[in-house]
């Protein structure tokens, strides 16, 4: 394939032509972000093997509003990535596709779209529900930290 006309990584965000495209881009961006966090989290939790003092000093170092905001962003990214991932599994494995029918003129609008929208909206509602749990936890954390 020629390199001409290829936008590279910019192509993820330009142009956002429809909902599917937006979800595709966000899925990739959150996936990369979560992978970076995964490596940091593995390093952070490995401190446990170095003993009580190291664990406590690591926890104290991380116990600040900046870290908690970062953690909230990670949790929200994970919620989005998970909800959209389940939608993708259902969609791409054909689990929400209708039975194929003969294309008879005049063609009816392919109602696969309707099912895709229903699943997208359901996952969106579930995702927002879990995000509300996470936001409340975050506010409590900030309150505890402020005392």
Partner 1 sequence: MNGRIRLGIYFSGALLAVLVLIHLSLFSYWFVEGGYYTNMSWEAVSERMNSLLWDAFYLVFLTTVMAHSYIGIRNILFEYITSDGGRRLVTYALALIWISAYIYGLIPIIASAGG
Give residue for tokens 């229903």: 118
Positions in 75-114 near partner 1 (CB under 8 A): 75, 78, 82, 85-86, 89, 92-93
CB of 108 to partner 1, least distance (A): 30
Nearest-5° Cα angle at 20, 10 to 29? 45
Half-sphere exposure of 39 (CA within 13 A, CB side): 5
Q: Does 33 bind partner 1 (CB under 8 A)?
A: no
CB 129 within 8 A of CB 121: no
Pick the closer one to partner 1 by CB: 4 or 52: 52
Q: Does 64 bind partner 1 (CB under 8 A)?
A: no
DSSP 106: S
DSSP 25: H
Residues at the contact surface with partner 1, assessed by CB under 8 A: 1, 8, 28, 31-32, 34-35, 38-39, 42-43, 45-46, 48-49, 52, 55-56, 59, 75, 78, 82, 85-86, 89, 92-93, 130, 133-134, 136-137, 140-141, 144
């Amino acid at each position: 394939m020629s390199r001409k006309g290829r936008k590279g990584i910019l192509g993820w965000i330009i142009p956002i032509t429809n909902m599917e495209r937006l979800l595709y881009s966000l899925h990739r961006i959150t996936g990369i972000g979560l992978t970076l966090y995964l490596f940091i989290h593995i390093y952070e939790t490995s401190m446990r093997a170095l003993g009580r003092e190291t664990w406590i000093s690591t926890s104290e170092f991380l116990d600040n509003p900046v870290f908690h905001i970062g953690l909230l962003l990670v949790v929200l990214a994970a919620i989005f990535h998970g909800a959209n991932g389940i939608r993708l599994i259902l969609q791409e494995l054909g689990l929400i596709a209708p039975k194929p029918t003969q294309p008879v003129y005049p063609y009816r609008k392919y109602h696969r779209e309707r099912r895709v929208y229903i699943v997208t909206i359901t996952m969106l509602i579930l995702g927002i529900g879990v995000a509300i749990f996470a936001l409340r936890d975050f506010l409590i954390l900030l309150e505890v930290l402020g005392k």
